[in-house]
Structure 1
């Protein structure tokens, strides 16, 4: 029986939507138990069925605007710290939160801990490929914001983290690895990107396909796209902002386009619903901090119950496929190769 530690107080709609999503996942997966960390009175009021739910009361909460590391060190009885500690102490197999992103990342690093051999974990998202003609409907994208400054070896490690995740969680046998850059040519980019390109190209166990421009981010050219945290976060938010702007323009056109526009919308409503499902953030689960000793997954602060349930499904797949152990084994072996003992 796997156990997932849940920050029941994190997110814009906590604890109501968090508990609703947890209960939906609980009903779907009979092999999961949940440890719910949060205010006893508030959380208890939202629980409809206590089966396989254990409430661990906490007295503190880390707010969205708090400085992450300071909050983690100061608020020891917060739902984030207690949930992460449960994973560290092997009382739970994974940690889930919709709360303060920085605090979740800090808790993952400082409490759960990174895998030996990995310099910096990367925040990893699964994004859609809105092209029905392609067999692969989504791809792995990292780092999306855990590290504002990165070194060559960080991005090189991300390629392997993304590869293992695509293989185990998305089921891609030989993931195509791309490097986000400002041009497709191999000599594009600054010194960092040129060095990363060379290392990825030289790696015999990576299916590296070269540079990917930001305009082709959702094109389906790669199964894994590697980038530094600053660029990755900026490109992701620009893509999300563009999508929202287009939807606003369409909505404005329908509302002010007269009777023909409204009739057209009614006829195309199933199509719009299908697009919303493909592009919706709730469909693909949360962002995973890959490179830690256990699954640490952060979903959007505005997540509703369906996003929570989908994220738990994502965590279950990670645990079932043992993707973390595969990462531990690979990087542990690399440590031995790079730092042989005298007896070797």
Structure 2
């Protein structure tokens, strides 16, 4: 991925079987939803490039050429199957092999992974690939579909359907609140209330490139979260969290609303608290982890219980809090 004049570009090595093919003919195939006149215009204006440079429509690919396509065009006009072809030409599969080691459960219907922090669940918005694209490359299977999502900086349990029937079943289970998801979070300050439930109305506010969720009783969507104290420290509290609804950034916004923002939350957090956690505990990531999930299996209809322990980095943070600043 490359940022050129504030526009994100995806770049891909040209497959060997496409060497000597004209770029206009190549784009007619992979951008089939874009009119030919628009493709020529994109090439003439240098919006689509080769090796970072503008080229003419009759340019023929050479060995080791890379084609640069703007993120917006890539996301809207290249289908998932062709994205796999593109990604497999440049993405070193060794770099994503670690995903196979993160699998918590798998059968012919489901693949459940312990998503690491710092990786989006899918590509887009300037990201060349995410968890789902990486797994599709490793498995060579475009039928894998996300059942739900986690924020890029949130770690933990992520469900992926391997069959359309499983996807439909689990989407319905989410709709009727029949899937239980529990999170662990370290929040600012000491809570005095053992359990707390909060309901607000969240609305997405877009300002420039930023997208923040705000509370708005007029146009927001009803959002409900339950918090329960797990462990207290002098300057922080470890809480179990059960979101009844599943709005974007819901847990993070509700934690902030209660005056207890999550540690290392760059959007809704407290800078002083974040800096203290960095300095004292060495924390360098959002302390929010999807730790437990209970659902009905789409085929057997039996209860499926999945648990994902926190990683060593979060665990070391808690050990330090217990030992030094309780």
**TM > 0.5 fold call:** no
Q: TM-score, normalised by structure 1?
A: 0.27
Q: TM-score, normalised by structure 2?
A: 0.28
- The structure whose Rg is larger is 2
Higher relative contact order, structure no. (Cα contacts within 8 Å, ≥ 6 residues apart): 1
Flag the structure with higher strand content.
2
